Amino acid sequence: MNDARKEIGIDDPEDGVAAEANSAFGRTLRAIGLVVAALLAIHAIYVAYVGQYLAPEIIRAGVLWTCALIVTFTSPLAAELPWRNRAVESLAWCIDLAMLAVLAFACWNFLHKIDDIENLVVQFSPWDQASALIAIIVLLELSRRAFGLILSAVGVIALLYCLFGQDLPWIFRHSGFSLELSMEIIWFGLQGVFGFATGIVVLLILVFIVFGALLEGSGAGATMIRMALAATGGTRGGPAHAAVVASSIFGMSSGSVTANVVGTGVVTIPLIKQRGFSPAFAAAVEATASTGGQLMPPVMGAAAFLMTQLVGQPYQVIALAALVPALFYYGSLFAAIGQEARRLGLEPTPRDQRQKLEPGDKPRSLIFFGPLAAIIITLAMGRSPSMAGFWACITTIVIALILNPELRAKPAMLLAALAKGGVAGARIMMAVGAIGILLAVFELTGLGLKFATQVALIGDTTLFVALILAAASCLVLGMGMPTLPAYMIIVLVLGLGMKKLGLPDLSVHMFVFYFGVLSAITPPVALAAVAAAPIAGAEPVRTGLASMRLALVGFIVPFFFVYEPSLLLVMDDFTIQAFVWAAFRLAFAVWLLTTAMSGFETEKLSPLSRGLRVIAGFAMLMVMWEIQLPAIALGAAAVASDRGLLRTRSAQIAG
């Protein structure tokens, strides 16, 4: 078990698993937590195959409590104590076990009363109300242990707002709700903790979290990094370009940006620094590439499958809509790295010094590409996304056992991967439980509708200002959270308001999803940058700012596809002509802005040239062709002028 615990990173805070306390009791409970986590992962795979084998309420309550046990036992309060003595540690464990006991009773009470609630014949005793309130506080505490203070603080504020918001001004004032009614909606109703969001995670999301953990533990990681290094060895960026390739591949299947940063960054970041790039730039490349993996189909960190449920569109439509913006994101990142390499005077690595593939690397790449093919084929056959997740997990296990002899020799690695997936899924479930509180409060108080009305009023004046405010709100709401909870909470708060702007549902969801993902590299929180900076020995804030510069197109593209929906490929008014024109303008603008930000094209750019490129780049993205055409001409003139000056100087030097 000790080896398995090391395999799943129990001592690694980046994995969210608490450092080990000293007592044998604590170690035993953590071992139990890991076993239960592996069983939860197996259950997720089973549910993906058979569907709801019990009443939805029973499965949701049972899985929620199981996840609470896993988070409690693997991230105990005792491990957070700044001092160590037996009495204090025993008290901490008593608190944890009491929390689980109260939560177990509250879950049982929910199931006991659910039929009466649906028939509107139930009354809640003071003990029912108190146990529900304590259970909600327990969920918020476990959410804090899983993902920090931000989401838990939002949950506490929502709860206080529900109980005392009648004294607030403006749109925040509501009519006031008793504790009994609040608990009836938040805990005992199907609009809150045990509602739609929890159901989606149980039936759909958990299996893809397990799939990501299996893929990571299958032995495909080193192979894919070597293949990425070999494929990009002839570029000026070398390992920086390899980091983009490797992180995009792993990021699309991982639900955690920070886990992807740590997993690939420990290999790629030192190589990027050795190539001659600065520490902050090396960390920013890894953070930006790992973040972008959440935007890249087919998996998109499981967000694609969540989006199908929320938008009501088939998976194929979601994946196709995400494709072109994601390609522009990574294309601009490749270009930015190339320009930085040119600025530093770096040349491609000599052929004899490039990464060589090992004999088994190409076959072992099937460990990664086989499951992705299984997902695509299953969905193409018209099966459900959860069934695609099931076959992805099974394919990963089978191919890894066939192609990875180390896995056959150490089957504990497979169990460790299942446990890691179970722990990650349990942590996500705690976050979703907290989001369920927000869902209930927004519905009960009507705050979501009020907020939507205000956004619509702003949009009636100018859509662009409304989009700016929405983007800023997404960045704030997404800070400090993994992709799926961030996306869910942003859609909860902003989705209805943006729909009132008259935008298509898919454009709205893609817009908020992009900015929710990009919050991972946006200071002051910038979790991906914070994870990458220590590996590179860089400052987190500087890394975050460098990441934002590298991901510039990611901040531009969402606005662009709102005004140019042809970029999403699946809109009703799509035409080839509109798509080609939009793609050309975006590509040219990205190049102008990338070179302006780096201050270098084929040589150092003058301040005037950089300014002209920025003006032309943003102007050609405007809606009006009267602005687009002069902007394209200005951009072309700036590029031609700089290259003409270069040729003149070269001729003078030659002469």
Note whether residue 582 is domain-resident. yes
Contact present, 211 and 301 (Cβ < 8 Å): no
**Per-residue buried b or exposed e for 341-374, using 16+ beta carbons within 10 Å of the residue's own CB:** bbeeebeebeeeeebeeeeeeeebbbbbebbbeb
Note whether residue 581 is domain-resident. yes
Distance CA 446, CA 133 (A): 21
- The pTM of the full predicted model, rounded to 2 decimals, is 0.85
Note whether residue 591 is domain-resident. yes
Give the range of the structural domain holding residue 627, as residue numbers without chain letter.
576-655
Give the 3-state secondary structure of residue 168.
Answer: coil
Note whether residue 618 is domain-resident. yes
CB count in 10 Å sphere of residue 585: 21
**Length of the chain in terms of residues written:** 655
Note whether residue 619 is domain-resident. yes
Note whether residue 125 is domain-resident. no
Q: What is the DSSP letter of 148?
A: -
Note whether residue 628 is domain-resident. yes
**Per-residue buried b or exposed e for 533-552, using 16+ beta carbons within 10 Å of the residue's own CB:** bebbebebebbbbbbbbbbb
Q: What is the pLDDT of residue 469?
A: 86
Q: What is the pLDDT of residue 56?
A: 84
The tally of domains found in the chain comes to 1
Q: Which residues of the chain are under the pLDDT cut of 50? A: 1-21
Q: What is the pLDDT of residue 333?
A: 93
Contact present, 289 and 242 (Cβ < 8 Å): no
Tell me the two tokens of residue 220. Answer: 């495909």
Note whether residue 86 is domain-resident. no
Distance CA 217, CA 211 (A): 10
Q: What is the pLDDT of residue 284?
A: 94
Q: Of 400, 398, 376, 396, give the one whose Cα is nearest residue 387.
A: 376
Distance CA 328, CA 183 (A): 46
Contact present, 251 and 513 (Cβ < 8 Å): no
Contact present, 467 and 562 (Cβ < 8 Å): yes
Let me know if 273 is exposed, middle or buried by CB neighbors in 10 A (0-12, 13-18, 19+).
buried
